[in-house]
Structure 1
Amino acid sequence: MSAGPRPGRGSRRHLRGLGLWLLALLLTLLVFRTWPQTDPQVSRLFHDPTQPTRFIGDAHPLVHAVYQVVPHVGRWLSLISLVLVCIPRRRFGAGGPQRWRGRAIGLLAMLVLGLGLMVNWALKEHVGRPRPVHTLEFGGTVAHQPVGQVSTLCETNCSFVSGHAATGFVLIGIGLGAGPIVRRRWWAIGLVSGLLVGAGRVMQGGHFLSDILFAGLFMAGLALVVRWAWVGWRWRRRSRRRPA
């Protein structure tokens, strides 16, 4: 008996997905590099010098509440996912519980590799982009830094990219190990959540529009890579279990 067909069709889909993602990344970068004032222009829509923080978002109770709650949601998701992953597989029955353990693996990968390592460490701590509220255009003390440049104008917890928005985008990970319908559903939930949370951060002057869009692009790219690695690992695991 053979080990079953290689996931060739799935691999081609993954390659197409990565190709589309790369195209979207390059086009978004091109837009913000060609028209660098797009970010300040969007932020100016929410600028109000009469507000204590100079942006209307912090005066809105719902926006402020989301800002406060989202980091706690990220921590709880990390804890719940870690607990589910650490419980031995044999402890789960077939069906729903087993599926949710698999979904916790995808979510934990997005939280650790995406939110923790890529966003909060590699990008926010090393790109050095000042937040809108800190720039000269909005009453701050430093110049606006266009996307695609590394600067020393911000030393830590900087603007590029948005950690709050990335926390919304991590929900994509829940569907990474599931079938197409469930996977698309969680992709939609994750993208909408990240964009809504990110919109609140733009309204607060905490992030530029590009910080939100690139957070989504980077998290989506990681999700594609994790899905590709997961499918390959499943195929190799099943191949070893079947007789030649």
Structure 2
Amino acid sequence: MKWRHPTALLRWAVCTLVALALFRLWPELDLGVSGAVFDADGPSRFPLGDTPPVRWVYLAVPWIGRFLLLASLVMLFRAHTPLRWRRRAQVLLLALVLGLWGVVNVGLKDHWGRPRPTEVSAFGGPHPFQSAGTVSPYCDRNCSFVSGHAATGFTLMAVGLLGTPATRRRWWRIGVVAGLLVGAGRVLQGGHFLSDIVLAGLVMHGVCLLIRAGWLRWRLRQRLVHARDRG
């Protein structure tokens, strides 16, 4: 079992810094995407966000997150859960608790203060636009940076973390597609900027890399201990 995650973590850090720099240097990316679905003259400022499919996804995602948490706990404590699914449950639970709840909701959304698109002056709100990653006083909690709904979708990439390379790639794609689809709905609703979605994915990917790195190190130590005991 080779230790390759420092390289993966370095690539993730570079991608995250590039994404942050891109959205900070060109705020037009955020304003342009949200502006494309904004209707200043209509009864709703973000009319596509009121369509039934978008509303259904918005309401369903938090319950999906709770279901994934409950399912993980059931598989962990169920006596006859196959080892493969027990491991999947372990990493999914860690991603939900450490990543979605700890880093995204408690760490970022409740402390960064970024106002949502509906709250900025460019789209009829009271506050000035804040670029991605900027700490501001315009929102107290549950703010725009980053998207919790999108992060819930991205969490699915954790399911394949301990599998073969093909399994990891498959679940990574599933998580990315789920996160982007959910995130697109939040952009249509005026609930998040494009950068909130992209960086939610990067945050959850980083959490997944750290979880896998920790598991690999633990497995390596276990093997060394067993080899020493046999010797």
Pairwise CA distance, 1:115: 0.4
Pairwise CA distance, 1:180: 1.1
SS of 1:215 mapped into structure 2: helix
Pick from 215, 218, 222: which aligns with 2:207?
222
After superposition, the CA RMSD in angstroms is 1.3
- d(CA) in 2 for partners of 1:58 and 1:213? 19
Trace 1:117-132 onto structure 2 (pairs within 5 A). 117-132=102-117
Residue 61 in structure 1 maps to residue 46 in structure 2: no
Pairwise CA distance, 1:51: 4.5
Residue 193 in structure 1 maps to residue 185 in structure 2: no
CA contact (8 A) 1:57 1:64 kept: no
TM-score by length of 1: 0.90
- d(CA) in 1 for partners of 2:195 and 2:48? 18
SS of 1:202 mapped into structure 2: helix
- d(CA) in 2 for partners of 1:32 and 1:80? 36
User: Unpaired runs of 5+ in structure 1?
Assistant: 1-6
SS of 1:214 mapped into structure 2: helix
Residue 27 in structure 1 maps to residue 50 in structure 2: no
CA contact (8 A) 2:153 2:178 kept: yes
Residue 109 in structure 1 maps to residue 94 in structure 2: yes
1:159-181 C-alpha deviation (Å, 9 max, x unpaired):
00000000000001111111111
Amino acid at match of 1:203: L
Indicate the residue corresponding to 2:35 in structure 1.
44
1:42-92 C-alpha deviation (Å, 9 max, x unpaired):
1001102344441023222111110010000000100110122234xxx33
**Percent of residue pairs identical:** 51
SS of 2:3 mapped into structure 1: helix
Pairwise CA distance, 1:128: 0.2
1:113-162 C-alpha deviation (Å, 9 max, x unpaired):
00000001010000000000011111111111111210110011100000
Quick one: structure 1 residues 121 and 51, their matched pair in 2 at CA, closer, same or farther if it must change by over 3 Å?
farther
User: Unpaired runs of 5+ in structure 2?
Assistant: none
Residue 163 in structure 1 maps to residue 148 in structure 2: yes
CA contact (8 A) 2:49 2:186 kept: no
Amino acid at match of 2:80: F
Indicate the residue corresponding to 2:3 in structure 1.
11
Q: Mean alpha-carbon deviation: is it higher for 119-128 or for 228-237?
A: 228-237
CA contact (8 A) 1:129 1:159 kept: yes
